[in-house]
C-alpha cells in the first residue's frame, strides 16, 4: 500500500501489505512496514484497534467493531496518507475473509471505500448487504448535478464463512466521464462495469490545486447498532496502487 501524505506531484507505485515479520501497528493504530507507505488508523465509536492476527505461520490484519458505543458510527479502518490520481489504473489485489459468527446488520456497511477529494463520499467500494453477514456488493455511486446520488451495483459475491477469498479489482476513475471497474473473484471474472461514478465537477481546494484525486480505505465502517454483536473482517496479501 502506498501513501506518503502529499497530494500534488504524487505518483504512487504498488506495494504489498503482507503482514510480514517486519509489520507492526504503531501509535494510534497506524500500520508500519518498511518498504510500504504507512497507513493511518481511523477509529470511531465501538471499535477494537486493528490487530495483526497469526495462524499457521501466516499473518493478517483483523478489523472488528461491536455496536456498544454511544456514537452514531462505528469505525475500524486503515487509510492511505496520500491520494491516487484519476484517469490512471488502480490495482487492488487482496484476500478477504469474514469469520463465522460475524454479526448481521440492519444496515448495509462498508468493508472498503474510495473517497474523492472534494466530492460526496464514499463513491465506490465494497458494501455488506443489509440483513446479511457474508454477502457483499462491489458498488459505485453517481452524483447528479443537483447533488443527488444513485447506487450502481457492479457485482455481488457470497463469502463462505471462515474461508479466505481472493479478489483482483481494476478501477479507472474519470470524473464527469465514464469510469470502469473490473472484478475477479477466486480466479473467476465477476464484473466488467462502465459508467459514471463520483462527483463530476469538483471545485478546486485552496492551496491544493485541481482535485481529480481519491483515497483508498479498508476495514469496517458502519452505523452503531448496540444489540447487533461483533462485526469482523480479515485482510491479507494486499497489493494496492497505480499500474
Query: pLDDT (tens digit, 9 = 90+) per residue, 34-44?
Result: 655 567 888 88
Q: Which of 95, 92, 147, 102 is nearest to 129 (CA)?
A: 102
Q: Domain map of the chain by residue range?
A: 15-242
Percentage of residues of the chain with pLDDT beyond 70: 80
Q: What is the arithmetic mean of pLDDT over 45-56?
A: 87
- pLDDT for 12 equals 41
How much of the chain exceeds pLDDT 90, in percent? 51
Give the per-residue pLDDT at 2. 32
What is the Cα–Cα distance from 236 to 161, expressed in whole angstroms? 16
pLDDT (tens digit per residue) in 7-38? 222 334 434 444 444 455 665 667 766 655 56
**Alpha-carbon distance 127 to 110, whole Å?**
4
- At residue 10, the pLDDT reads 32
> Would you put residue 22 in left (φ > 0), alpha (ψ -120 to 50) or beta?
alpha
DSSP run (H or E) holding 102 = none
What's the pLDDT at 127?
98
Architecture per CATH, 15-242: Sandwich (2.60)
Round the average pLDDT of the chain to a whole number and report it. 84
User: CA 69, CA 24: separation in Å to the nearest integer?
Assistant: 27
The number of residues in the chain equals 243
> What phi and psi, each to the nearest 5 degrees, are found at residue 177?
-125, -175
Amino acid at each position: 500500500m502506498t501513501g506518503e501524505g502529499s497530494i500534488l506531484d504524487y505518483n504512487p507505485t504498488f506495494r504489498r501489505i503482507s503482514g510480514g515479520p517486519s509489520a507492526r501497528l504503531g501509535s494510534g493504530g497506524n500500520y508500519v512496514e518498511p518498504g510500504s507507505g504507512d497507513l493511518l488508523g481511523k477509529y470511531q465509536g465501538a471499535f477494537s484497534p486493528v490487530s495483526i492476527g497469526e495462524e499457521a505461520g501466516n499473518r493478517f490484519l483483523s478489523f472488528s467493531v461491536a455496536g456498544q458505543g454511544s456514537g452514531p458510527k462505528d469505525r475500524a479502518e486503515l487509510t492511505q496518507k496520500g491520494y491516487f490520481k484519476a484517469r490512471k489504473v488502480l490495482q487492488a489485489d487482496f484476500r478477504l475473509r469474514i469469520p463465522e459468527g460475524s454479526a448481521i446488520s440492519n444496515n448495509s456497511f462498508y468493508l472498503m471505500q474510495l473517497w474523492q477529494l472534494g466530492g460526496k463520499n464514499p463513491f465506490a467500494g465494497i458494501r455488506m448487504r443489509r440483513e446479511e453477514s457474508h454477502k457483499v456488493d462491489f458498488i459505485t455511486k453517481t452524483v447528479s448535478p443537483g447533488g443527488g446520488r444513485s447506487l450502481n451495483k457492479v457485482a455481488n459475491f457470497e463469502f463462505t464463512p471462515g474461508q479466505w477469498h481472493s479478489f483482483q479489482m481494476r478501477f479507472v476513475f474519470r470524473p464527469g466521464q465514464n469510469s470502469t471497474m473490473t472484478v475477479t473473484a477466486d480466479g473467476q471474472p465477476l464484473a466488467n462495469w462502465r459508467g459514471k461514478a463520483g462527483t463530476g465537477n469538483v471545485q478546486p481546494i485552496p492551496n491544493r490545486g485541481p482535485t481529480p484525486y481519491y483515497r483508498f480505505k479498508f476495514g469496517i465502517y458502519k452505523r452503531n447498532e448496540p444489540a447487533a454483536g461483533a462485526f469482523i473482517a480479515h485482510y491479507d496479501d494486499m497489493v494496492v496502487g497505480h499500474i
